[in-house]
């Protein structure tokens, strides 16, 4: 894990630095920081699925998150634009809207930040690959078998019961229980009939204003690890259209803190320009040739902007790869290339999908789309919940 200051000191330091930057905003900064501290009590209920919780579980959860109502009262009815408006300093306004899209609820920003300041969230050394490999090792050590590059064509259903899967190769694999962990937009319509789709989910797909998704136009570069920029730096740039929208701010993230990512003396620098449902449709509308040409054009344009901001990188940016929402769709069957689930906006109720279907027995759903806003913790917890549902059916203890 990477950590520079003990987490309880990071918020104090941030408060001091922000006040020094904008003394006029002192009261608002103190309120913000205080509510981030309150939001540190917010954790994802991971013990068991909500529908298996007893009253005593709800009381326990309420007690452990006792400070969260204060956060919701102060920041639950505004979005990040509204939060930015509370500050005088133009820089602090940017700070509030640079991390998440400005139409997302303000409280989700506080909760994300609090996850890091509380120490409940962190950056694993070795990144996703090392973490995935640890999961695989554990799974295999418990007798699990893993088949990769083995796409599933459909889930076999007989008389309202899941019976197994059919692979793209035509091979059928029969099973007592089937747990799907693919993107739900692919599950309903491709692996099982769309008519099984829960109505909450339909709502998400038909209203992208209320339930937006986020993907990215991303580029990764090899650089020398002497680059002076630390962590993530957002900066203003000449306007540029990426997807269907204008951007005048971009960011670079320097991964030099993780020595496992690059050979000695080198580091990975990445930029990620957020892409929406609207942008996805733009990329999708391009022919193969236009898509390639557009990518090349943007690689040049974005690289120029990075070099203009950091002249020390001139001649020291070797492009490793560039990818778009279509890449996530192609590799992962991800809805609109999204790498998080539906976001919660002010007008929308948070979507929660039960991990099983009334009309299909012996079948369970896992993956980030089970609960907004998605992400790795939700994906991991949903897998545990699927197992607990099977244990409950088998009248075994669900304490795992
Ligand atoms: C750049 C980036 C940064 C991120 N940062 C964070 C972060 O800091 N914190 C965080 O919590 N989350 C982060 N995420 C999001 C996180 O990666 C996702 O939320 C998570 O991977 C979702 O897990 P999942 O299992 O639901 O879906 P996926 O990871 O998409 O897994 C679904 C799998 O199903 C496979 N599949 C699809 N169709 C089939 C088929 N027909 N047959 C067999 N297999 C199939 C896909 O190939 C894929 O491997 C980030 C994502 C990205 C892209």
Ligand 1 atom at minimal distance to the Cα of residue 383: 25
Confidence of residue 6 (pLDDT cuts 50, 70, 90): low
Q: Residue 123 has what pLDDT? A: 87
Counting the structural domains of the chain, the total is: 3
Alpha carbon distance 96, 107 (integer Å): 11
Let me know whether 244 and 310 are in one domain.
yes
Whether 193 and 243 share a structural domain: no
Instruction: Go through 74-94 and write b for each residue having 16 or more CB atoms within 10 A of its CB, e for each that does not.
Output: bbbebbbeebbebbebeebbe
Q: Does the pLDDT at position 9 exceed 80?
A: no
Mean pLDDT of the chain: 94
Q: Are residues 180 and 240 in the same domain?
A: no
Residues 220 and 331 grouped into a single domain: yes
> Residue 71: which pLDDT band, with cuts at 50, 70 and 90?
very high
**pLDDT tens across 146-205, in order?**
999 999 999 999 999 999 999 999 999 999 999 999 999 999 999 999 999 999 999 999
User: Is residue 400 in a domain?
Assistant: no
Q: What is the pLDDT of residues 344-369, one digit of tens each?
A: 888 888 888 999 999 999 999 999 99
**Same domain assignment for residues 316 and 234:** yes
Question: Model's pTM, two decimal places?
Answer: 0.94
Q: Is it the case that residue 4 has pLDDT exceeding 80?
A: no
- Work out the percent of the chain whose per-residue pLDDT is above 90: 88
Quote the ligand 1 centre to 339 CA distance (angstroms).
Answer: 6
Nearest ligand 1 atom to the CA of 128 is 17
Q: What percent of the chain lies above the pLDDT cut of 70?
A: 98
**Last residue within a domain, chosen from 82, 117, 152:** 117
Residue 5 pLDDT exceeds 70: no
Examine the pLDDT at 220 and tell me if it is beyond 60. yes
Tell whether 255 is covered by a domain.
Answer: yes
Q: How far is the CA of 176 from the centre of ligand 1 (A)?
A: 26
Across 253-258, average pLDDT = 94
Residue 2: per-residue pLDDT: 47
For residue 1, what pLDDT band results from cuts at 50, 70 and 90?
very low
Say if ligand 1 is within 6 A of residue 376 CB: yes
Pick from 36, 29, 51, 363: which is nearest to 192 by CA?
363
370 and 316 share one domain = no
At 32, phi and psi to the nearest 5? -60, -50
Q: Is residue 241 part of a domain?
A: yes
When mean pLDDT is compared across 10-24, 302-316, 342-356, the lowest value belongs to: 342-356
Integer angstrom CA distances of residue 127 from 102, 133, 134, 383: 27, 10, 11, 20
Nearest protein CA to atom 26 of ligand 1, as residue: 367
Residues 25 and 105 in one domain: yes
Residue 349 sits in the same domain as residue 205:
yes
CA of 363 to the centre of ligand 1 (A): 21
Domain-embedded: residue 136: no
Cα-flanking dihedrals φ and ψ of residue 321, to 5°?
-170, 160
pLDDT computed for residue 7 by the predictor: 65
Looking at residue 348, its pLDDT comes to 85
- Say whether both 58 and 87 belong to one domain: yes
Domain that holds residue 231: 215-337
pLDDT one-digit tens code per residue, 36-52: 999 999 988 899 999 99
Q: Same domain, yes or no, for 307 and 372?
A: no
Tens-digit pLDDT profile for residues 278-303? 999 999 999 999 999 999 999 999 99
In this structure, are strands 245-254 and 178-180 parallel, antiparallel, or unpaired? unpaired
Nearest protein CA to atom 48 of ligand 1, as residue: 332
Task: With cut-offs at 50, 70 and 90, classify the pLDDT of residue 78.
Answer: very high
Provide the CB-side half-sphere exposure for 80 (13 A, CA).
21
Residues 6+ apart with CB under 8 A from 365: 179, 180, 181, 184, 187, 353, 355, 356, 357, 382, 386
The answer to whether 111 and 71 are in contact (CB under 8 A) is: yes
349 and 369 co-located in one domain: yes
Identify the residue whose C-alpha is closest to ligand 1 atom 50: 339
- When computed from its CA atoms, the radius of gyration of the chain, rounded to whole angstroms, is 23
pLDDT of residue 111: 95
Report whether pLDDT(207) > 80: yes
321 close to 220: Cβ distance less than 8 angstroms: yes
* CATH number of the domain enclosing 365: 3.50.50.60
Assess whether the C-beta atom of 375 lies below 6 angstroms from ligand 1: yes
């Amino acid at each position: 894990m990477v950590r520079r200051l003990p987490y309880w000191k990071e918020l104090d330091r941030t408060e001091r630095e922000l006040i020094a930057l904008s003394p006029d905003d002192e009261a608002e900064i103190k309120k913000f920081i205080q509510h981030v501290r309150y939001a540190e009590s917010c954790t994802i209920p991971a013990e068991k699925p909500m529908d298996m919780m007893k009253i005593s579980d709800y009381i326990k959860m309420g007690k452990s998150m006792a400070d969260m109502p204060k956060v919701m009262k102060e920041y639950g009815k505004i979005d990040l634009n509204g939060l930015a408006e509370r500050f005088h300093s133009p820089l602090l306004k940017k700070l509030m809207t640079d991390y998440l899209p400005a139409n997302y609820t303000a409280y989700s920003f506080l909760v994300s930040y609090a996850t890091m300041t509380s120490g409940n969230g962190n950056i694993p050394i070795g990144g996703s690959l090392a973490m995935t490999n640890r999961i695989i090792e554990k799974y295999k050590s418990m007798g699990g078998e893993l088949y990769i590059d083995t796409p599933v064509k459909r889930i076999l259903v007989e008389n309202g019961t899941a019976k197994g899967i059919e692979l793209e190769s035509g091979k059928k694999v029969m099973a007592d229980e089937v747990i799907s962990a693919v993107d739900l937009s692919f599950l309903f319509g491709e692996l099982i009939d769309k008519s099984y789709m829960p109505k909450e989910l339909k709502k998400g797909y038909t209203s992208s204003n209320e339930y937006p998704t986020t993907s990215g136009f991303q580029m990764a570069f090899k650089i020398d690890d002497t680059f002076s920029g630390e962590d993530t730096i957002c900066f203003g740039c000449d306007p540029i259209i990426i997807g269907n929208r204008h951007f005048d701010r971009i960011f670079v993230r320097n991964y030099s803190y993780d020595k496992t990512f690059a050979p000695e003396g080198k580091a990975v620098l990445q930029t990620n320009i957020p892409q929406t449902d609207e942008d996805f449709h733009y990329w999708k509308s391009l022919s193969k040739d236009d898509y390639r040409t557009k990518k090349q054009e943007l690689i040049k344009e974005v690289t120029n902007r990075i070099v203009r901001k950091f002249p020390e990188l001139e001649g020291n940016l070797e492009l490793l790869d560039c990818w778009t929402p279509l890449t996530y769709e192609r590799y992962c069957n991800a809805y609109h290339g999204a790498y998080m689930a539906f976001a919660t906006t002010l007008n929308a109720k948070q979507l929660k999908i039960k991990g099983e279907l009334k009309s299909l027995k012996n079948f369970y759903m896992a993956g980030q789309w089970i609960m907004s806003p998605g992400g790795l913790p939700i994906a991991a917890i949903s897998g545990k919940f699927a197992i607990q549902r099977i244990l409950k059916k088998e009248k075994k203890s669900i304490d795992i």
